Structure formats: C-alpha cells, structure tokens
Structure 1
Amino acid sequence: MWYSLFKYVLLGPLLRVLGRPTIEGIENIPERGPAILASNHLAVMDSFFLPLMCPRRIYFLAKNEYFTGPGLKGAFQRWFYTAVGQIPIDRSGAEAAAGALTAASRQLDKGELMGMYPEGTRSPDGRLYKGKTGLARIALETGVPVIPVAMINTNKFNPPGTVLFRPAKITVRVGKPLNFDRYEGMQGNRFIERAVTDEIMYELMQLSGQQYVDVYAQSLKDSKPGDDRPVNPAA
C-alpha cells in the first residue's frame, strides 16, 4: 500500500512533472520471476526514478542506519525507506557481505526484482567507474538474469551535494538480460566474478554512453575529503 502511495500519489507525480521521465526497453523487464536490475549510479534520485518507471516493484539494499533513527524523524525515515522498497542490512563487521548476499537472495527466491549499483557509490563526476563483484556473486549464487539499466541525466536533476531538484529530462534505458549459466558451479571464483562484473559494466557503458574509468569510484572519493559516501554499500 505504502509503495503505491509513494509511486502514484506522493512523490511520483512531482517527479513526472519535473523530470518528464521516459523508459526505453521496458520489454526487457520480465513480467514475473526474479532478476537483478544492475544500474549505473549518478544520483540519489536513481533509486526513485527507476522504481517510478518500472512496471514491477523493485527492492534495494540500504544501510541499517536508515531504519533505526530516533524520534519523529526516525519514524518518517523508516516509513519512507520501507515505502520505496529499501531493505535494511548491517554493513558493519566481517559478515556484512554475507548479510547482503542473504538479504538479496531471500528476495530473489520470492521471485522479486532486486535493484543494485555495481559501482557501489554514486559517480563523483558523471563517468562510469569499475564495478565491485558483490552483484556478480549474488547473480552466480542465485542463477538469476542480470538486466543492465542506464540512468540518464539524474545527475542534472539532482546534482551531487544538492537538495533541491532541477528540472531535467530523465531517461531510463533498459538493456537485454544477461545470462551467466555458462559459469554454473564456478561461484566463489574471484576471477569468474570479475569477468561477470566487467561484462555487466561494459553493457552499462554501451547503454549510458558514459566514459569508463577502470578504478573504483570510492577510491577517488576517499582521495578528496568532503565528498559524499556510498548510498548503496552492499551493491
């Protein structure tokens, strides 16, 4: 109910007016069954425009802190992040990666769509950065297809470090599903996970038209004190 309220009554109509979003390749999203939507990550609003334009509900992994805040603000955050399909995970400790894998696998086992950002954090400058292998690990463990998704102009609508929206034409471009059945039984092999990740990133580069940079976005941010930190650390 809350998801529909967000999508059709609250924020959704405002985003449609200001962002004039369109979606290309919607036929590549299955009408039913599990899949991972692997998206580039330009802005916070990626996690709003993608669910808005997708005909099915999408679930994302989010840090647990979004759901544990005190008082009225904390209650609003819990409601909001739950309404938009965020699943809390604990990022602390050595078991963080395993917890993310378990949470994502649980939703995929239910036949749901998982939205993930293989870059692990927002691009600091609009370029496409090296993907982390967590998404590949989940895809290989579960055997579900990976659907590449390019978000276009969300960084113009919601530039990094800004709060107010700036009208911009948003496009969601969905690519053909990627199947990794040829690697069946090879999950846990870091070379295979890297090969899968690189294939996904190549498709995202083709879809988005972004320049690819073969370093992790977070390493660039860490070299520039004051930049924002990851919003999807489990991806």
Structure 2
Amino acid sequence: MLYWLLKWVVFLPVIRLLFRPWVEGREHIPSSGPAILVGNHVSAGDTYLLPALISRRVIFPAKAEAFEGRGFRGRVLKIFLEGIGMKPMDRSGGRASATSMVSVSQVLRQGQLLGIFPEGTRSPDGRLHKGKTGVARLALQARVPVIPVGMVDTAFVRLPVLGIPVMRRPGLRIGAPLDFSRYAGAGNDRDVLRYVTDEIMAAVQQLSGQTYVDAYASSVKAAAAEGRPFAVTELERPGVGKPVPPLPPATSAPSVSDSA
C-alpha cells in the first residue's frame, strides 16, 4: 500500500513535473511473471526514476546496514524500507551474504520484478564500471529473464540561480530480455558468472551509451578517498577478448516460475 501511494501520489507527479522524463522500450517489460531489471547507476535518483516510470512494481535490495539503524530515525527508516518492499542485502560476503541472497531471490519466487545495479554503487565519474557477479548468480539460479536498462542523463545538476539539484530530461532505454538459461547448470563456475555478468553489462552499455571501465566502482572510489592513484583501463565493451565458456551438462532443475 505504501509503495503505490508514494509512487502515484508523490514520486511520479513530481518527477513528471520537474524532470519531464522519457521512456523507450516499455514493451520489453513483461506484463506478469518474474524478471530482473538491471541498470547502470549514475545518480541517487535512479532508484526512484526506474520504478516510477514503469507500471509494475519493482523491488530493490538495499544495504543491510540501512535496516539496522538505532534510535527513532533508524526505526522510522526500517519501517519505510520494509513498507516499500526493500530487501536487506548483506555485502560482507560469506554466509551472511548467502542468507540475504535467499531473501532477495524470494522476490522472484513471488513472480515480481527485482531491480539491481550490478556496479554496486553510483559511478564516480559517469562511466560504466565492472559489474559484480551476484546478478548472474541470481539469474542462473532463478532461471528468469534479465532486462537491461540504460539510465540516460540521470545525473543531478544544480540550477544556477537557486542551486536546486535537478535532472534535465532523464530517460530510460529498456532493452529486450536476455536469456541465460543455457548456463543454469553451471552452479558457481566463476568463468560462467563473469561471462553472464559481462554480457548483461554490455547490453546496458549499448543502451546507456557510456564508456566502459574494467574496474569496480567501489575500488575507484576507495582510491580517490585515500588520495592514491588508481589506474583503470577503458574497454570497447565488458568481457571483450574473453572466450565464451562451454555449456554445462543439461539439468532439469525448475525455474522460479515453475515452482511458484
């Protein structure tokens, strides 16, 4: 209830009035059933723009720390995040991360849309950065389509007079669904997970038009914060020059849509 109230009464009217956004490729969003929406992450507004501009509900994972705040403010934030359907994602690795992945994948088992920004954090320089393989692991385990989304001109700029941050005609380019079910039996094969992730990020890059940097955005940010140089390599596209991994043996494991 809170999600739809905020979407139709608050976010969508404000976004349309102030930013005049545009959308291409709405037809690629399935009318029902689970799918993963994967986009580039340039601005804090991306998390609001994407779900506001498509008709179906989109649920994003949020960092687990946001659900653990103390005091009145922390409790209010937790209630808000849970009210709009956000799922806590532990990024520390190991068992904790695996457990939170189960919670996030529940969104797909319920036949809903899951939104993910594989860069893991906002781009520090406007370029597209290396994707983390969690999105590939989710897609292969759940056997659901991955829908690439290019966020265009979503960076905030300040008005010269009042200094108010605004977006100037931001847009979404939604691409055709990607099917990686042929690799569903690969398990945790690192080469397969990296290949699938790179293919997803390449589709996003084609839609967003960004330059690709073969480095994690978090590493670039950490180096900048510490004042140390960090060499990065620009590539034509993610995964360029890497071989396509062989297909795994056939498997009959059900998809989330089969088991829902």
Q: Give the TM-score range, shorter chain.
A: 0.7 to 0.9
Q: Following superposition of structure 1 onto structure 2, how do residues 172-191 of structure 1 map, counting pairs within 5 Å? A: 172-191=172-191
Structure 1 residue runs of 4+, over 6 Å off?
none
Q: What SS does the corresponding residue of 2:47 show, helix, strand or coil?
A: helix
Runs of 5+ consecutive residues of structure 2 not aligned to the other structure: 228-260
Inter-partner Cα distance in structure 1 for 2:110 and 2:123 = 31
Give the residue type in structure 2 aligned to 1:36.
I
> How far is the alpha carbon of 1:83 from its aligned partner?
4.1
Inter-partner Cα distance in structure 2 for 1:31 and 1:5 = 21
Q: What SS does the corresponding residue of 2:87 show, helix, strand or coil?
A: strand
Aligned residue number for residue 133 of structure 2 = 133
Cα contact 1:57–1:85 (8 A) shared by 2: no
Inter-partner Cα distance in structure 2 for 1:179 and 1:90 = 27
Aligned residue number for residue 166 of structure 2 = 166
Aligned residue number for residue 29 of structure 1 = 29
Aligned residue number for residue 62 of structure 1 = 62
Change (3 A) 1:22 1:85: farther
Normalising by structure 1, report the TM-score.
0.88
Inter-partner Cα distance in structure 2 for 1:73 and 1:196 = 39
Aligned residue number for residue 77 of structure 2 = 77
Q: What SS does the corresponding residue of 2:165 show, helix, strand or coil?
A: coil
Runs of 5+ consecutive residues of structure 1 not aligned to the other structure: 228-235
Inter-partner Cα distance in structure 1 for 2:174 and 2:218 = 25
Normalising by structure 2, report the TM-score.
0.80
- Which is higher, the Rg of structure 1 or of structure 2? 2
Cα contact 2:154–2:167 (8 A) shared by 1: no
Inter-partner Cα distance in structure 1 for 2:82 and 2:19 = 23
> How far is the alpha carbon of 1:132 from its aligned partner?
0.9
- What's the RMSD between the two structures over aligned residues? 2.0
Q: How many residues align?
A: 223
Q: Deviations over 1:69-99 (max 9, x none)?
A: 2344224322432344311233345223312
Between 137-146 and 61-70, report the one with greater CA deviation: 61-70
Q: What SS does the corresponding residue of 2:155 show, helix, strand or coil?
A: helix
